[in-house]
Amino acid sequence: MKTTFLKIAFLSLSILAISSCSSNDESDPEIIIEPPVLNPGDLLTTQNVATYMVDANATKETVALFYNLKKLAKTKVAIGQQDAFNSFYQDNGGDSDIKKNTGSDPAILGSDFMFITDKNNNNQPDNWFYQQEEKITIATKAAYAKGIINNFCWHLREPIKEDSFYTVDMTADQKANAFKSILPGGANHEWYKKKLDKIASVLLNLKGSKGELIPIIFRPFHEFDGSWFWWGANFATAQEYKTAYQFTVDYLKNSKGVHNILYAFSPDNSYTTEANYLSRYPGDKYVDVLGMDNYGDFDNQGQSGANKANSKLKIIADLAKAKVKIAALTETGYQVTNAKMPITDWFSTYLYSALTSNDIEVSYAMLWNNTKDAYFVPNGAVSNAADFKTFTTKSKMTLVNSLPKMYELPK
């Protein structure tokens, strides 16, 4: 019976593989392998891992990062923060605010290509934007040396005047044309390629102590289901979005020879079904990380909000199992300000249950950055410091102190 089942399972997988090759639409339901068919995620090995990745020529450290993130989700969720080494509550510098509270740095460091690709960055040492580029690359190298995972988003300013990435700052004409203009054949396509050239240059010079390229997770065009960014759903068709995402990956990987990237796909939290989530999905060949940004469900909605967040994470966790991808909560948090008090047990109860209920497998969660006047992560000196520390010491959470070696494949 066991032999027969395996033959049937193998046959099912073969049929699915053939059907997926016959269509360019990666959202077709037949490519999603549902239980109880043999789960390909269980077949992931150190030998075949590259076959499930976007970049078949990825560096060995990047391959190891994919493998280890995928395996990590079975037992742990890595906790990270945006700008953890450069942005602090009340400008209290030194150690990351996470380390001030817990004694350990985050497992993931979030960074942004925004200033790096800014029109005012002239690559001169006395230029403020170039100085930000230097700060970011120094922080990325320091994180890598500590075993921390590096993640980059990109708040790219619109191509017409390059003043803002928020649509509230744009005219109706700018909003209608900005995204379309960067597509192949568009008026600003060469402009967009130059921005990618800059990213490629930075990543190809981002090296560890032995000269190896440092892997990053790159999250282009995030929260695209909203309308607050110029790449949002109101300003691009689903096909236009897919085209831009696919071009970005192909250009960096094939034209620029950048092989130290894992690519993340991350809408906001508007979806409620698998079909919603996949409506702008560029395809398995272009995505390593299935993510979601979610602030709304955690904004003072208590356990009901946490349950909603968990149900959405379950959708992407199930997809990640079927597609052999990584599932992640790519942005989240509850910002505390002078006018907005902490929510009791927000971390240890609500965020924790969203990340762990219903046996979901999520590899990491990224909290947003602290500033002088507000914070997402409590340092050791604020009223909800103990709640965060309790959260990070739960058995399924990990900071860098209990993170496995992410850049080496297990022997």
pLDDT, tens digit, 9 for 90 and up, residues 286-344: 999 999 999 999 999 999 999 999 999 999 999 999 999 999 999 999 999 999 999 99
In a domain, 408, yes or no: no
Nearest CA among 274, 266, 358 for reference residue 33: 274
| Percent of the chain's residues with pLDDT above 90 | 89
Greater pLDDT, 260 or 34: 260
Q: Which helix (H) or strand (E) holds 280?
A: none
Give CA angle at 326 (335, 155), nearest 5°. 45
Confidence category of residue 43, pLDDT binned at 50, 70, 90: confident
- Is the same domain home to 94 and 200? yes
Residue 244 is part of a domain; what is its CATH number?
3.20.20.80
Q: Does residue 35 carry a pLDDT above 50?
A: no
- Secondary structure (DSSP) of 225-267: TSSSBTTSGGGS-HHHHHHHHHHHHHIIIIIS---SEEEEE--
Query: Tens digit of pLDDT for each residue in 346-391?
Result: 999 999 999 999 999 999 999 999 999 999 999 999 999 999 999 9
Query: Alpha-carbon dihedral of residues 73, 223, 277, 178, nearest 10 degrees?
Result: -140
- Find the domain containing 372 and state its range: 40-402
Q: Is the peptide bond before 40 cis (omega within 30 degrees of 0)?
A: no
Structure tokens at 295: 């602030």
Residue with tokens 């110029």: 230
- Is the same domain home to 104 and 7? no
Residue with tokens 């890598």: 144
Handedness of CA 406, 64, 294, 351 (dihedral sign): negative
In a domain, 362, yes or no: yes
Amino acid code (one letter) for 47: Q
Number of CB atoms found within 10 A of residue 20's CB: 17
Distance (Å, rounded) from C-alpha 309 to C-alpha 296?
9
- Is the same domain home to 230 and 283? yes
- Is the same domain home to 270 and 323? yes
Mean pLDDT calculated for residue range 129-155: 98
- Is the same domain home to 20 and 80? no
Number of CB atoms found within 10 A of residue 91's CB: 10
Mean pLDDT calculated for residue range 186-215: 98
Tell me which long-range contacts 121-127 makes (C-beta under 8 A, separation of at least 24). Answer: 121/198
- Is the same domain home to 20 and 50? no
Mean pLDDT of the chain: 91
Confidence category of residue 68, pLDDT binned at 50, 70, 90: very high
Residues β-bridged to residue 289: 264, 326
| Percent of the chain's residues with pLDDT above 70 | 90
In a domain, 411, yes or no: no
In a domain, 242, yes or no: yes
Nearest CA among 148, 158, 242 for reference residue 195: 158
Task: Give Cα separations from 173 to 177, 185, 229, 231, 234 (angstroms).
Answer: 6, 19, 14, 14, 13
Query: Tens digit of pLDDT for each residue in 167-185?
Result: 999 999 999 999 999 999 9
Structure tokens at 338: 């002078």
In a domain, 7, yes or no: yes
3-state SS of 92-105 is CCCCCHHHHHHCCC
pLDDT value of position 6: 36
- Is the same domain home to 196 and 281? yes
Confidence category of residue 411, pLDDT binned at 50, 70, 90: confident
- Is the same domain home to 32 and 49? no
In a domain, 410, yes or no: no
- Is the same domain home to 12 and 59? no
Q: Does residue 58 carry a pLDDT above 50?
A: yes
Distance (Å, rounded) from C-alpha 286 to C-alpha 249?
7
E-assigned strand segments in 346-399: 364-367, 397-398
Distance (Å, rounded) from C-alpha 361 to C-alpha 319?
11
Mean pLDDT calculated for residue range 181-205: 98
Mean pLDDT calculated for residue range 225-232: 98
In a domain, 289, yes or no: yes
Return the active site residues: 223, 331
Q: How many residues would you count in the chain?
A: 411
Task: Give Cα separations from 82 to 200, 214, 238, 278, 293 (angstroms).
Answer: 21, 18, 28, 26, 13
Mean pLDDT calculated for residue range 221-243: 98
Q: Does residue 139 carry a pLDDT above 80?
A: yes
Mean pLDDT calculated for residue range 26-43: 45
pLDDT value of position 39: 55
Domains: count for the chain: 2
Q: 262 phi and psi, to 5 degrees?
A: -105, 135
In a domain, 296, yes or no: yes
- Is the same domain home to 26 and 46? no
Mean pLDDT calculated for residue range 250-268: 98
- Is the same domain home to 137 and 15? no
DSSP 8-state class, residue 347: I
Mean pLDDT calculated for residue range 80-101: 97
- Is the same domain home to 12 and 107? no
Q: Does residue 123 carry a pLDDT above 90?
A: yes
3-state class (DSSP) for residue 366: strand
